[in-house]
Amino acid sequence: MKSVKDMVAAANAMVDHAPAAEMLALHGQPGVTFVDLRDPRELDREGMIPGAFHCPRGMLEFWIDPASPYAKPQFQEDVRFVFYCASGWRSALSARVAQKMGLTNVSHIDDGFSGWKAAGGPVGAKPAKR
């Protein structure tokens, strides 16, 4: 059996990643999309990075695949994607999956949203549904 810790380490060996303190410089830059993979309840409790696109982890593959009936236009853009979750495990696995699915400019915050807050990154409320 392969542990989740081993899977995260393998993903990190293949994916660009950095701590939140370094990723702060990308926030608000043109051509960069932050992708929040956390559960909606986490967003309700803790907020999110302002301007981030919310993609629940369970929908990632369906939203990336342009042939899927659930495909989202945000994943069809030619931008750098910075994935994040609470602590960097889901985002490592997600960034690797995104690479395998053809997204080329993918990275993740390896200390997650908790690292973002600790580094003084901006936090906003979860946007209301339209």
113/97 Cα distance (integer angstroms): 20
Mean confidence (pLDDT) of the chain? 95
Q: What is the DSSP letter of 87?
A: S
Residue 26 gets the label, from left (phi > 0), alpha (psi -120 to 50) or beta, of alpha
* Residue 118 pLDDT level (bands cut at 50, 70, 90): very high
pLDDT at residue 72 tops 80: yes
Asked whether residue 126 is domain-assigned, the answer is no
Q: What domain range includes position 86? A: 4-118
- Mean pLDDT on 55-84: 96
The answer to whether position 124 is within a domain reads no
Name the band, by pLDDT with cuts 50, 70 and 90, for residue 94: very high
- Res. 74: pLDDT tops 80: yes
129 found inside a domain: no
Residue 123 falls inside a structural domain: no
State the pLDDT at residue 130: 61
Number of domains in the chain: 1
Q: What is the CATH number of the domain that holds 100?
A: 3.40.250.10
- Tell me the average pLDDT across 30-47: 96
User: 63 in a domain, yes or no?
Assistant: yes
